[in-house]
Amino acid sequence: MIDDIFKKPEHVAVIMDGNGRWAKRRGLPRVFGHREGAKAVERTLKIAVELDIKWLSVFAFSTENWKRPKEEVDAIMSLLVEYINTKVPELVRDNIRLRFMGRRDGLPEMIRESMDEGEKATEHCSGLNFVVAINYSGKAEIVDAVNKILRSGVDEISENTFKSYLYIPEMPEPDLLIRTSGEKRISNFMLWQLAYTELYFTETLWPDFDEEEFLKAVYFYQSRERRFGKVPG
Ligand code: FPP
């Protein structure tokens, strides 16, 4: 287990990649990979709770993912609705607050309703904050923030004020970003918030991500010296 004398990340962000390849290697349709991916989300949530991590955010569907074949988009949307509808009672039991970030406009009505209900039902939970990014991109979030600022009539802002216009203003910046499947890219995830985040890349495909992998990423984080631009002291 993680030793408390070492710093623990307060916010772990995850780019869950490799579902399609996981399925392809087994000669299965891609959607099977996403189903297994949902199980990996479950495992990750459980470990995050055990480690007493305060924020876990996952990139579930990007604004670019609409370009995938319609059957795959529909399957991911159905999986997300099914996940929210069936898991909310467990999230409440485990004191996990569910939140979403991304552009709600353009999402099918059925998923928007589930998202609203899931957020409302877990609003009072004070344990882990579980953030699911759906129809999300970092550039879109920045543009949406700028448009809100323009509409509010403010003519000059600081970095701190800018932060208050992001989708979840109170969300701390990630301490650790995990990306699975060997790709070493940020792929438009939390461009503003990742400025000083430690980046951890693993070859493991997302459906195979487990407790051991999570702990490896946390140990990596604990071995890093975070200087935020200062000299070592
Ligand atoms: C990336 O793998 C994965 C996605 C775009 C979808 C992620 C969605 C889930 C894991 C569904 C469950 C989510 C929750 C929150 C319950 P890929 O398809 O890009 O894989 P590839 O790079 O191997 O093709």
Q: Are 217 and 55 in contact (CB under 8 A)?
A: no
Instruction: Find the 21 Cα to ligand 1 centroid distance in Å.
Output: 10
Tokens of 73: 């988009």
- Token pair 């929210």 in the structure block, residue: 84
Instruction: Find the 147 Cα to ligand 1 centroid distance in Å.
Output: 30
**Which pLDDT band, with edges at 50, 70 and 90, does 7 fall under?**
confident
Instruction: Find the 195 Cα to ligand 1 centroid distance in Å.
Output: 24
Residues 37-44 have a mean pLDDT of: 98
DSSP 128-149: -EEEEEEEE-HHHHHHHHHHHH
* CB-ligand 1 contact for 58 (6 Å cutoff): yes
User: Which one from 3, 4, 17, 188 is the annotated catalytic residue?
Assistant: 17
**Digit-coded pLDDT (tens) for 141-184:** 999 999 999 999 998 999 999 999 999 999 999 999 999 999 99
For the stretch 21-59, what's the b/e string if a residue is b when 16 or more beta carbons lie within 10 angstroms of its beta carbon? Answer: bbbeeeeeebbbbbbbbbebbeebbebbbebebebbbbb
**Digit-coded pLDDT (tens) for 80-128:** 999 999 999 999 999 999 999 999 998 999 999 999 999 999 999 999 9
Tokens of 221: 């984080």
Backbone φ and ψ of 7, nearest 5°: -65, 145
Residue 1, pLDDT > 90, answer: no
**Which pLDDT band, with edges at 50, 70 and 90, does 226 fall under?**
confident
Q: Are 168 and 147 in contact (CB under 8 A)?
A: no
Q: How far apart are CA 179 and CA 139, in angstroms?
A: 19
Domain at 11-137+174-223: CATH code: 3.40.1180.10
Q: Residue ranges of the domains in the chain?
A: 11-137+174-223
* CB-ligand 1 contact for 19 (6 Å cutoff): yes
Q: Are 2 and 51 in contact (CB under 8 A)?
A: yes
Which of 16, 62, 185, 201 to mutate for ligand 1's pocket (most ligand atoms within 8 Å of CB)? 16
Tokens of 187: 């792929």
Q: Is 160 a catalytic residue?
A: no
**Digit-coded pLDDT (tens) for 45-75:** 999 999 999 999 999 999 999 999 999 999 9
Q: Are 125 and 92 in contact (CB under 8 A)?
A: yes
- Token pair 């979840």 in the structure block, residue: 168
pLDDT at 231: 76
* CB-ligand 1 contact for 20 (6 Å cutoff): yes
Q: Is 65 a catalytic residue?
A: yes
* CB-ligand 1 contact for 133 (6 Å cutoff): no
Does the predicted model carry a pTM greater than 0.75?
yes
